Chain A
C-alpha cells in the first residue's frame, strides 16, 4: 500500500503549483484554474487522511469541496465576464480602480 506521506507530498506539490500560478500569472482564467488546483490539493489531503484513519469523513468532505468548487467557478466565470466587459481584457493587473 502506498503510504499517506506520498499523497501529502503530491497534495503539497499541486498546492504549490496552484499558488505559483496565482502569484505569477495575469490572466483571470488561469487564476481560476490555479484556484481549482489548490482546492483539489486540499481534496487529495482529505482523502489521504480518510484512508489513513479508516473512516469516510474526509471523503464526504471532499465531495462538499467539489460542489463548492463548481459554484465558485460559476461565480468566477461571471466575474471574469464582467471584468472583460468593463476593461475589454481579462488581465487582472489592469483592473486597479478599486483602491484608494
Chain B
C-alpha cells in the first residue's frame, strides 16, 4: 500500500520542522512557525491518506529498523503499526497540532514573544515524539517516544524560563511523570524478559505469523495454558495470571504518571504555567493522551487480568470525581480546565478498566477536540484580558468576542455532556459500559465497576457545575475590570482554529451515536465499525487488535459480561443516558442560578473549611512534598549513613589494616645486606628444623 510507504514521513515531517525551527527559525518569517504549520499540515494530509487506506481494510505492521542483529532471542526494533486505533490517533494528533500551530501565530507571534524558534522547535519535536509513540509497533519504541514526549513537555512548560513559576512547574511535570516512568521501564524490561518480544501485534507474512506479539503470547498462556517459551515464570515463582498482572500494573505506573491519574496528577495543574497553546496540545492530543492510548494499544494484555482491570477502573473513577471536586473552586480559567482534563482522563481509564474499549477511544477522540477547543478559547480570552487569567476579573465578554464565546460554549456543552454535543455521546457511553458490566460481572470486579461507576456518575454533576461556573464568570454578567470592558481584539489566526474545533465539538459525537443506533436499529455507530474493521478485510485475524477480539477476551478470562438491570438493553440505555444527562443539566442549572446573575458573588465561601481543602487540592502537593522531605529524604540519609559507615567502612577497614601492617612489616627491609643474609639463614634453619620435626629426622 502506497500510503504505508509514506507513513514514516508523518513522524519525520514534524521532526524536520523541529530542526528547521531550531537552526534557521530566527532567519525565517514568523520565527519558524511556517515550517511547523507546513509540516503538521503535511502530516495531517498523510494521516488522512493512511486512515482512508485503513478504512479500505488493509493494515500494516512492519519492522523498519532493527538495532540488535546477532541476538536471536531478543529483538529490539523500530517499527510501524498502523491499524484503526493508531490511524485514528494519528488524525487527532496531527489535526490538533496543526490548529495549535496556527493558533500560536496569534498567541505567541502577535503578542511579541521572544524565543519563538525555541517555541516552534519544541512544538515540532513534541508532535513528532507523540506521532512516533502512536505508530510504535513495540513496547520499547513506545517507551522511548513516551520519554521524548515527557522531555518536550518539560521544554515547553518551562518556555518562559526567566520567570519563577514555569521552570519549577516544568521540573515538577518532568519528575512526577518520571516517577511513574520508572515503573513503566521496569515493566518494559519485565515484558521483554518474560516474552522475549515487545511487539503489540503479531507480524505476518502471507497469513503466517513470523513474529508473535506479547499480548498474544500472554493470551495463549492463560486461555490455552501454553506456558512454554515464557521465561521468568519459574524465576518469580508466580502463575502466569499473577505475573502478567504485575507486569500490567508496572506499565500502568507510566500511564498513571503521564495521564495524570491519582496519585500522580499533581504535575498537570502546575503545567498551566506554560503557554496556553502548549497546554492545549498537552491536554488534548499529546502527552496526557499518551497514557490512555498506551492502555488501549496493549488492551489485549490488560483484558486478561481482572485485577489490573479493576485497578484501572477504580483509579479512573476516583480520579474523575476527585479532580472534578477540585475544579469547583478554582479562580483561574486555565486551572478549571486543568482539573477538568484530569477528570476526563479519569473517565477514559474508567471505560478501559470496565471493558468499554470503544467508549474509551470515543471519549479520547471527542475530548481531544473539545478540550483543545476550550484551551484555545481560554487562550483567546487570555489574549483579550492581557494575560490576566483570573475569572473574577472577567465577565461580560460574550458581546465583545462573539466567536470565542460561541465556540467556547460549544466546547463547554460538550465537556458538561449536554445532548447533542460531542461529550454527551462519549461520556454517556463510558458510564453505560461501566454500569452494564458492573451488573453483569460477578465477584469483586463487578463491585469495583459499580463503585467506579458511582464515582463517575457523581462527577458528571460536578463537571456540569464547574464548566458553567467558568462560562458564566467569564462571558456573562457585567464586566468586572477595565480590561474586560475593553478587551484586546483577536485575529483570524485565533478565530480560525476555534471555529474549526467548535464545529467539530458539536458534530464529532455523531461518529458513534450508540444509543440512537440501538433505538432505531440504524447502523450509524461508525467508530464501532471502524475499530471492528471491515468483515471481509481479514485484518483482525492478522493483528488481533480489533474490538471483537478484545470483547471475546473480556468475556473469556475476567468474565466481564453485560447485564441490563432496568428493562432490557433499551431501558437500561435510556435510564443511564437520562441519569447522566439529568445530573449534567442539574450541574449547569445550579451554576446558572449561583453565577448566572449580572454581578455574581463567590458562593464557595459557604463551603467553609471544605473550600480551603479544595483550594489546596486536598493538600496533595503538601503531602507529596512531605513524602519527599519527611520520609524519602531521611530514608536516603539513613541509607547514605549505612553506605558510608558500613559498606565503605568494611572496605576502608580492610585497606587500613593492610596499610598499617605494611608500614610495620616494611621495616625489615633495612637496606643492609647482612640483615637479609641473616633472615635468609634464619629462614633456612627454621625450614630445616620444621622439615626435621615433621619428617621425623630426630
* B669 CB contacts on chain A under 8 angstroms: 99-100
* A23 CB contacts on chain B under 8 angstroms: 674, 677-678, 681
B687 to chain A, nearest CB (A): 15
Q: Mark B666-697, 1 if CB is under 8 A from A, else 0.
A: 11011111100110010000000000000000
Contact at A99–B674, with CB atoms within 8 Å?
Answer: no
Docked pose: A19 CA to B682 CA in angstroms: 11
Docked pose: A96 CA to B669 CA in angstroms: 10
Q: Mark A5-47, 1 if CB is under 8 A from B, else 0.
A: 0000000000000010011101000010000000000000000
Task: State whether the Cβ of A86 lies closer than 8 Å to any Cβ in chain B.
Answer: no
Task: State whether the Cβ of A98 lies closer than 8 Å to any Cβ in chain B.
Answer: yes
Which of B666, B673, B677, B678 has a CB less than 8 Å from the CB of A100? B666
Contact at B681–A19, with CB atoms within 8 Å?
Answer: yes
Contact residues of A between 58 and 100, Cβ < 8 Å to B: 92-93, 95-100
Question: By CB atoms of chain A within 10 A, which of B669, B673, B681 has the most?
Answer: B673
* A95 CB contacts on chain B under 8 angstroms: 671, 673
Docked pose: A96 CA to B675 CA in angstroms: 11
Contact at B670–A99, with CB atoms within 8 Å?
Answer: yes
* B678 CB contacts on chain A under 8 angstroms: 23
Question: By CB atoms of chain A within 10 A, which of B666, B669, B672 has the most?
Answer: B672
Docked pose: A24 CA to B674 CA in angstroms: 8
Contact at B670–A96, with CB atoms within 8 Å?
Answer: yes
Across the two chains, which residue of chain B brings its CB closest to A94? Answer: B672
* A96 CB contacts on chain B under 8 angstroms: 670-672
B122 to chain A, nearest CB (A): 63
* A92 CB contacts on chain B under 8 angstroms: 672-674
* B674 CB contacts on chain A under 8 angstroms: 22-24, 26, 92-93
Contact residues of B between 636 and 692, Cβ < 8 Å to A: 666-667, 669-674, 677-678, 681
Docked pose: A95 CA to B673 CA in angstroms: 9
B685 to chain A, nearest CB (A): 10
* A24 CB contacts on chain B under 8 angstroms: 674
Docked pose: A95 CA to B678 CA in angstroms: 17
Sample (17) of A-B pairs whose CB atoms are under 8 Å apart:
A19-B681, A23-B674, A23-B677, A23-B681, A24-B674, A31-B673, A92-B673, A92-B674, A93-B673, A93-B674, A95-B671, A95-B673, A96-B671, A98-B671, A99-B669, A99-B671, A100-B669
Q: Which residue numbers of B lie inside 8 Å of A, CB to CB? A: 666-667, 669-674, 677-678, 681
Q: Which residue numbers of A lie inside 8 Å of B, CB to CB? A: 19, 22-24, 26, 31, 92-93, 95-100
3 smallest beta-carbon distances between A and B, as pairs: A96-B671, A99-B671, A92-B673
